[in-house]
Amino acid sequence: GIQVEQSPPDLILQEGANSTLRCNFSDSVNNLQWFHQNPWGQLINLFYIPSGTKQNGRLSATTVATERYSLLYISSSQTTDSGVYFCAVGGGGTGNQFYFGTGTSLTVIP
Amino acid sequence: DSGVTQTPKHLITATGQRVTLRCSPRSGDLSVYWYQQSLDQGLQFLIQYYNGEERAKGNILERFSAQQFPDLHSELNLSSLELGDSALYFCASSPGVGRGYTFGSGTRLTVV
């Protein structure tokens, strides 16, 4: 299957700071999503972004499919942003499943 | 509310027992995926159904089975449970093969 690497594995931010999370993948894909798993375990879809750039409030994401990476930007972080951010890729030659990275654990302190 | 409904939310059972987890996909979604999330394994793909038919299989144990019914809801059956089966089990749905996922809130299974 496709290898998905996320960096950094852990991140601690002061409230109000900005951050960039990275996702590298090993093969061409047709689908890419970013998810946020909150402290209660819920997986929330942030972006469906197989290519290009999208923005939603303080969050934005960019995928450069030809170079096999995606970036998630969090600006003016808030304590509610804490949790684990997962990148998942699928499609292309991978069949029907999405492959998940191991996540970036973000802690935002007040 | 994501539109994907999973029941029960929590389940505690003894080793050797059998349980059934249920998932109702978002309205209009034909694909259902099951994932297991344990502390040391991350999110592992188990199995996918599309419009009632099995489409892909991942790291699903022989003790586990699943099906998707004509109304598109799906059930994951876990039998001869072991302590190591304790995990969060997620269901996700999508409109079609290889399209974006929406996850349910998960079932937290604890085997004692």
Q: What is the DSSP string of A61-107?
A: EEEEGGGTEEEEEE-S--GGG-EEEEEEEE-TTSTT-EEE---EEEE
Task: Find out whether B92 and B42 touch, Cβ atoms under 8 Å.
Answer: no
Verify whether the Cβ–Cβ distance B56 to A96 is below 8 Å: yes
Determine the residue of chain A that is closest to B57 in CA distance.
A97
With 50 as the cut, is the pLDDT of residue B47 above it? yes
Residues B77-109: tens digit of each pLDDT = 999 999 999 999 999 998 876 568 899 999 999
Which secondary structure element, helix H or strand E, spans residue B31, and what is its range?
strand B31-38
Verify whether the Cβ–Cβ distance B48 to A96 is below 8 Å: yes
Residue B52 three-state SS: coil
Verify whether the Cβ–Cβ distance A33 to B99 is below 8 Å: no
**Per-residue model confidence (pLDDT) at position B9:** 96
Q: Which residues of B24-54 are buried (b: 16+ CB within 10 A; e: fewer)?
A: bbbeebbbbbbbbbeeeeebebbbbbbeeee
Tokens of A102: 């191991």
Report which DSSP code applies to B83. G
Residue with tokens 């309205």: B27
Cis amide linkage into residue B8, ω under 30° from 0: yes
| Segments of chain A scoring below 50 in pLDDT | 93-94
Residues A85-110: tens digit of each pLDDT = 999 998 654 456 788 999 999 999 99
Verify whether the Cβ–Cβ distance A102 to B45 is below 8 Å: no
- What residues of chain B lie within 8 A of the CB of A42, using their CB? 103, 105-106
**Which chain A residues have any C-beta within 8 angstroms of a chain B C-beta?**
30-31, 33, 35, 41-45, 48, 86, 88, 90-91, 95-100, 102-103
Residue with tokens 């303080």: A58
